[in-house]
């Protein structure tokens, strides 16, 4: 089945590298025009340069995803540039803290909340009021398998991702039938954001992954493409786990 997004326009947050950039390439290859957004224009320029033959269908605009006024401006810029907004991919994330929840400081707690959790609603709210309320659309939120259960060290990051999963369900309920909202919960993917989790322990980690490798950005991007397309036209409010089988491992318990 060939997926076509001809004539569609997508906005992707955190799109200068990793999953966001891989998703942009997938959507452009399927025929969409894409607005890339992140904080630094230099990073966006480098990202856009990777679209050698598709410059006319790729644009960039800077924005801080954790600020509602930036979300409003970025959505408006997308509509002004391409004339519409059919697909929103909320991909931006951060994890500035590693340690117990009870020891996190206010600054890093707030930063993680703003970028991982609040940014989703900021961009959905802007997309809804500026375009999707009248014209419909598709929203894909990038969560994490960490949002499905506790684990050491990245607990606050996981709390914000759990909130993304529930936000996905709530938005799907509220915005149907004209807008579909789904999420992806990736396992450990070889990205810059996750480098501290895998760089020195990759061989040990992959022994516990049934597929025996880390995820790559394109593994997630291909699912984003499917959720953004009519291939999933009767699907909303769901979170797809894409983790190489990690959460399906036996626990070793009895009974």
Cα 112-149-143 angle, rounded to 5 deg: 45
What does the DSSP 8-state code read for residue 194?
A: T
Rounded-to-integer distance, Cα 95 and Cα 32, Å: 30
157 tagged catalytic: yes
Answer for the pair 196, 253: CB distance below 8 angstroms, yes or no.
no
Answer for the pair 38, 21: CB distance below 8 angstroms, yes or no.
no
What does the DSSP 8-state code read for residue 17?
A: S
The active-site residue out of 97, 113, 157, 173 is: 157
- What number of other Cβ atoms are within 10 A of residue 34's Cβ? 28
47-52 — which CB contacts under 8 Å span 24+ positions? 47/15, 47/16, 47/17, 47/21, 50/21, 50/25, 51/24, 51/25
Instruction: Let me know how long the chain is.
Output: 255
Catalytic residue numbers read 157
């Amino acid at each position: 089945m060939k997926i076509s997004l001809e004539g569609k326009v997508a906005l992707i947050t955190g799109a200068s590298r990793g999953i966001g950039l891989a998703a942009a390439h997938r959507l452009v290859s399927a025929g969409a025009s894409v607005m890339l957004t992140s904080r630094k224009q230099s990073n966006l320029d480098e990202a856009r340069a990777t679209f050698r033959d598709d410059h006319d269908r790729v644009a960039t605009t800077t924005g801080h995803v954790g600020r509602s006024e930036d979300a409003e401006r970025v959505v408006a810029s997308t509509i002004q540039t391409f004339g519409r907004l059919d697909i929103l991919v909320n991909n931006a994330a951060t994890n500035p803290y590693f340690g117990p929840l009870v020891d996190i400081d206010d600054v890093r707690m707030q930063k993680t909340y703003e970028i991982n959790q609040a940014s989703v609603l900021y961009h959905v709210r802007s997309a809804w009021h500026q375009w999707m309320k009248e014209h419909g659309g598709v929203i894909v939120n990038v969560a994490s398998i960490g949002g499905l259960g506790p684990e050491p060290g990245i607990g606050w990051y996981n709390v914000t991702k759990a909130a993304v999963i529930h936000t996905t369900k709530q938005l799907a309920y509220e915005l149907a039938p004209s807008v579909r909202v789904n999420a992806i919960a990736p396992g450990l993917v070889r990205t810059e954001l996750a480098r501290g989790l895998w760089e020195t322990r990759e061989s040990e980690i992959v022994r516990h992954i049934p597929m025996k490798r880390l995820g790559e950005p394109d593994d997630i991007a291909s699912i984003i493409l499917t959720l953004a397309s009519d291939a999933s036209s009767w699907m909303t409010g769901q979170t797809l786990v894409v983790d190489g089988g990690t959460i399906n491992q036996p626990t070793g318990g009895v009974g």
